[in-house]
Every structure is written in structure tokens, then in C-alpha cells.
């Protein structure tokens, strides 16, 4: 897969900042050993400043990267430090409130985190534990399910079809992923409104501070180099809401930790859709106001444009009134032109008769305010001017 676009903002404007390289045994099963170079370009997005590796990540390249140093095509399994797993559990424990929970570790490695969760939480709660990884763990544990899956192809895997998890873990996996946005979208689809996801990646924003204690953080296995800003941007633009964020150096690795949940649509969409409905209603009622007033008075509409056009579309009687020249059209810019066969007039040159009622049609409040001011300067009376939106 050729990676040429930014994992955060999807643009393809990069500045190449270096080369990240390693070497692998070319044919480790042969007696005479030979190492082969594997290198990728480290680049910085010129739009959002995210740093990542770009280039052609072929299957062979990826296999090489995850090959163990002694065997052919056996990916490495990282055994995490037990203290790190205890830290992870501590940071999410206060959120674990349910008696019954499905817990998934995406990129479970040797199942050590799930084993700890089983021992700690499994004693007091009914937990279903699932580990997901493309590499089989060295041993299967009783009471822990294992789904073999490529994290980037979970949507194609039937085992995830009806799965919803309560607590999910994505620990030191996202930085290995070619398309982190896709992985997060797939994980999000396995969450309900109350599900929580714990994410941890190396914090590259702290590399200068720690003076790069752990030099192996810059490796071709790490494709994405997140910092607090870039990960937050990826998370929030992917339909997640940030509940907690922390950055900490443990075991000589700067760790960026986040706890996220699905962004709730209720708060963001309801008021907006209500406002759209309200505008439609107010335009319709303004059209009715014009028609009602015109039964008893001579009526001019001031402001010939989109808002009056919407009124006409919602109430065809207005169009007939304009065509029959029963409505006077006022516009300070369009005067002299015709609309529906009716001449648009310059309000400044119109005879100031008391019986004339003038309806201000623009939806924009500041435009109505300007018309009101100009109309009174031109000699119209305040009582003649009607704001149909109030």
C-alpha cells in the first residue's frame, strides 16, 4: 500500500525530514547470513505538522518489519512490563462501573493486559475478555477469547459483526497502523453510547524533554509519530469525545494516554436542525404577513433577493401579487430592473404616502437594520416599516 497522504488531515503536502531505517536477515534459514536494508522516508505534513513515514509499504516490507531477528516470518510479540499494565488498569478502573462488561484489547500481543484484567476485575465482575491481534499469542488463556485479525480489516471479519464492547484498549498499536483513521472508525462502530476506549501511544512531543532515552521509538515499525495535539485532532475529528488525557514517562518511554467515548450527536445536531425548521416557518409566516397587510394597505417589499424568493416559493399567491403589480418592489441596488414583469423601484424616489406599508424582507438582521435607518433618512415614517421576523 502506497502511503502518500497525511493520516490526520488527508493532504499530500509533505516535507521530508529524514530516513528511518533498519535491517533484517535476508534469508535467516540459510547458514550464511546476510542483512537487508529496510528504510522509509520520515515526513512532516506541511498542513497539520503530523509526522509519519511515507512510501510504499508492500506486504514484503511489512513482513520484513515484523520478522523476528532469528526466525523467518515470525512476527515479534512484545511482552509489556507488568507495572505498565497496572498503570493502564489504574487509569481506567474508576470508569469501570458495570457489573457485566465486554472488554476488548485491540493489538493484545501476549494477552498480558487481559490476563491482569481477568485477575483484578474478573473477581468482582462478570467480564467477557477478547484479545485481537494479527499474531497468535504464545499461549491461549482460559476465559480469554482470541480473535486473529488484521486491525485494518476488522470490517471484513465476521467475528466483529455483532460485537459491542464496554471497555476497549488500544495500547501502543495506533502508531503501527498505516491508516489510523480507518481503524478508529471500525472500533467506533463496535461501541455504544457508554463504551469507553483507552488509547496509548508514544508521546513524541516529549522526545526532546526525555532526550530520547528509548532510542527504539524511532523505528520503521512506528509509522505514525503522534503528539498530544495531533492525536487529539485525529480523535475528535473521528467522532470521539475526549474524557481524559495524560502524558507520562514510565519505563523510559514517554506515553500519551487518552480515554475517549463516542461523541454524542444529540447536543450538536438538535439545535441546528431546530433552527433550520424555525427559519422555514418564519419565512412562511412572513409571506402570510405580506399577504394579510396587502388586503388593507398598499404594500412595498424592500430587499429583492433570496429571502423574498423563498417566500414566493412557499406561497405562490405572492408571485401573482407581484405579477399583477399589486406589490411594489423596492431595492436600492436593483432599481430599474424587472422581476416577474414588475419594475423594481428606487425607494428614495418614491412618493411618501402614509398608506404605504413597507416590509423588510432580508433575513439578515443587520441588513434590515440598515434598511430601517435608510428608510427613515429618506423620509419614511417608522410606523410604515414592518419587520416580519419579529
Which residues bind to Zn ion, rule: CB under 5 A? 6, 8-9, 45, 47-48, 50
> 44 vs 321, which CB is nearer to Zn ion?
44
Question: At closest approach, how far in Å is the CB of 233 from Zn ion?
Answer: 9
Q: At what angle do helices 265-293 and 316-323 cross, to 10 degrees?
A: 40
By C-beta, is 181 or 245 nearer to Zn ion? Answer: 181
Q: How far is the CB of 231 from Zn ion (least distance, A)?
A: 13
Shortest Å, Cβ 222 to Zn ion: 17
- Asked if residues 151 and 182 have their Cβ atoms less than 8 Å apart, the reply is no
Please identify which residue in the block is written with the cell numbers 433575513. Answer: 363
Least CB distance to Zn ion at residue 43 (A): 10
Distance from C-alpha of 148 to C-alpha of 348, rounded to nearest angstrom: 78
Pairwise CA distance, residues 232 & 326, whole Å: 59
Looking at the Cβ atoms of 3 and 8, the one nearer to Zn ion is: 8
How many residues are there in the chain?
390
Nearer to Zn ion, 47 or 163 (CB): 47
Q: Considering the complex, what minimum distance in angstroms separates the CB of residue 230 from Zn ion?
A: 8
Instruction: Pick the closer one to Zn ion by CB: 6 or 358.
Output: 6
Burial of 228 (0-12, 13-18, 19+ CB in 10 A): middle
- DSSP string spanning 231-251? HHHHHHTTTEEEEEEEEEEET
SS3 198: strand
**Which lies closer to Zn ion via its Cβ, residue 47 or residue 218?**
47
Count of beta carbons in the 10 Å neighbourhood of residue 33:
10
Residue 385, Cβ density class (10 Å: 0-12 exposed, 13-18 middle, ≥19 buried)? middle
In the numeric block, which cell numbers belong to residue 8?
Answer: 490526520
Torsion of CA 323, 328, 333, 338, to 10 degrees: 20
**In the complex, least distance from residue 45 CB atom to Zn ion, rounded to whole angstroms:** 3
Minimum CB distance to Zn ion smaller for 9 or for 287:
9
Q: How far apart are CB 227 and Zn ion at their closest, in Å?
A: 13
Amino acid at each position: 500500500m502506497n502511503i502518500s497522504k497525511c493520516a490526520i488531515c488527508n493532504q499530500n503536502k509533505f516535507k521530508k525530514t529524514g530516513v528511518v531505517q533498519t535491517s533484517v536477515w535476508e534469508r535467516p534459514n540459510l547458514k550464511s547470513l546476510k542483512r537487508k536494508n529496510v528504510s522509509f522516508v520520515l515526513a512532516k505534513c506541511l498542513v497539520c505538522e503530523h509526522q509519519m513515514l511515507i512510501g510504499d509499504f508492500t506486504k514484503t516490507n511489512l513482513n520484513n518489519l515484523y520478522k523476528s531477528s532469528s526466525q523467518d516470518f515470525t512476527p515479534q510479540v512484545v511482552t509489556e512490563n507488568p507495572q505498565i499494565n497496572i498503570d493502564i488498569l489504574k487509569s481506567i478502573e474508576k470508569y469501570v462501573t458495570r457489573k457485566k462488561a465486554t472488554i476488548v484489547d485491540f493489538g493484545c500481543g501476549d494477552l498480558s493486559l487481559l490476563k491482569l484484567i481477568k485477575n483484578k476485575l474478573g473477581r468482582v465482575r462478570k467480564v467477557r475478555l477478547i484479545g485481537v491481534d494479527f499474531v497468535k499469542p504464545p499461549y491461549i488463556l482460559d476465559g480469554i477469547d482470541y480473535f486473529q485479525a488484521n486491525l485494518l480489516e476488522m470490517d471484513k471479519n465476521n467475528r466483529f459483526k455483532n460485537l459491542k464492547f464496554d471497555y476497549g484498549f488500544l495500547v501502543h498499536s495506533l502508531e503501527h497502523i498505516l491508516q489510523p483513521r480507518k481503524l478508529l472508525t471500525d472500533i467506533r462502530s463496535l461501541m455504544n453510547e457508554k463504551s469507553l476506549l483507552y488509547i496509548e501511544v508514544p508521546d513524541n512531543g516529549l522526545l526532546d524533554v526525555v532526550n530520547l532515552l528509548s532510542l527504539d521509538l524511532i523505528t520503521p515499525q512506528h509509522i505514525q509519530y503522534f503528539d498530544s495535539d495531533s492525536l487529539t485532532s485525529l480523535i475528535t475529528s473521528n467522532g470521539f469525545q475526549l474524557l481524559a488525557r495524560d502524558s507520562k514517562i514510565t519505563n523510559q518511554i514517554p506515553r500519551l494516554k487518552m480515554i475517549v467515548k463516542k461523541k454524542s450527536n444529540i447536543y450538536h445536531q438538535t439545535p441546528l436542525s431546530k433552527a433550520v425548521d424555525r427559519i422555514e416557518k418564519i419565512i412562511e409566516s412572513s409571506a402570510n404577513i405580506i399577504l394579510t397587510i396587502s388586503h388593507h394597505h398598499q404594500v412595498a417589499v424592500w430587499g429583492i433577493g433570496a429571502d423574498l424568493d423563498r417566500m414566493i416559493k412557499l406561497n405562490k399567491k405572492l408571485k401573482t401579487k407581484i405579477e399583477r403589480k399589486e406589490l411594489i418592489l423596492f431595492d436600492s441596488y436593483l432599481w430599474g430592473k424587472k422581476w416577474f414583469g414588475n419594475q423594481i423601484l428606487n425607494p428614495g424616489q418614491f412618493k411618501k404616502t402614509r398608506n404605504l406599508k413597507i416590509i423588510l424582507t432580508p433575513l439578515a438582521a443587520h441588513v434590515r437594520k440598515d434598511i430601517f435607518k435608510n428608510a427613515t433618512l429618506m423620509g419614511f415614517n417608522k410606523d410604515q416599516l414592518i419587520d416580519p421576523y419579529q
